[in-house]
């Protein structure tokens, strides 16, 4: 268990504890860290947030918890890619649908001007993004 005075935002060379938990889809650990005021939009060494990591891992429940805790859905990593772009690139259909239904901007652009549609891994992810724009 976590000591009452433990630093929940402790960082190793790449991640904070919340970032690592989100990347692994560790729902209960994410809940605990958020209840202890972990910094929800902290970034790893690549500029990715916990929301981006959970989205690219297709961890919908972790994604939901992070959004509920105030994670910025349309924040970009070091290249401007959003959580939706990361989910599209990995073909994470359930998480993509959830992000779109929540608050994700399907027309957001990364630093190269690419939208989530350009990140789409396959025809199914492409279709989801195209149908959202109608």
* CATH code, domain with 21: 1.25.40.20
pLDDT band at 3 (very low <50, low <70, confident <90, very high): low
Is 9 a domain residue? no
Q: How far apart (Å, rounded) are the C-alpha atoms in residues 47 and 87?
A: 16
Domain count, the chain: 1
pLDDT for the residue 26 = 98
pTM listed for this prediction? 0.90
Residue 77 structural domain: 17-132
Is 5 a domain residue? no
Is 1 a domain residue? no
Model confidence pLDDT, tens digit, residues 45-86: 999 999 999 999 999 999 999 999 999 999 999 999 999 999
Is 4 a domain residue? no
Is 24 a domain residue? yes
Q: Which of 48, 129, 1, 100 is nearest to 20 (CA)?
A: 48
């Amino acid at each position: 268990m976590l000591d009452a005075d433990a630093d929940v935002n402790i960082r190793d060379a790449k991640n904070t504890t919340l970032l690592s938990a989100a990347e692994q889809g560790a729902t209960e650990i994410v809940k605990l860290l958020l209840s202890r005021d972990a910094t929800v939009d902290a970034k790893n060494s690549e500029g990715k947030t916990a929301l981006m990591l959970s989205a690219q891992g297709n961890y919908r429940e972790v994604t939901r918890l992070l959004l509920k805790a105030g994670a910025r859905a349309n924040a970009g990593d070091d290249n401007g890619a959003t959580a939706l772009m990361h989910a599209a690139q990995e073909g994470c259909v359930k998480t993509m649908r959830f992000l779109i239904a929540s608050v994700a901007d399907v027309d957001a652009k990364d630093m190269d001007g690419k939208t989530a549609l350009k990140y789409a891994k396959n025809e199914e992810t492409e279709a989801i993004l195209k149908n959202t724009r109608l």
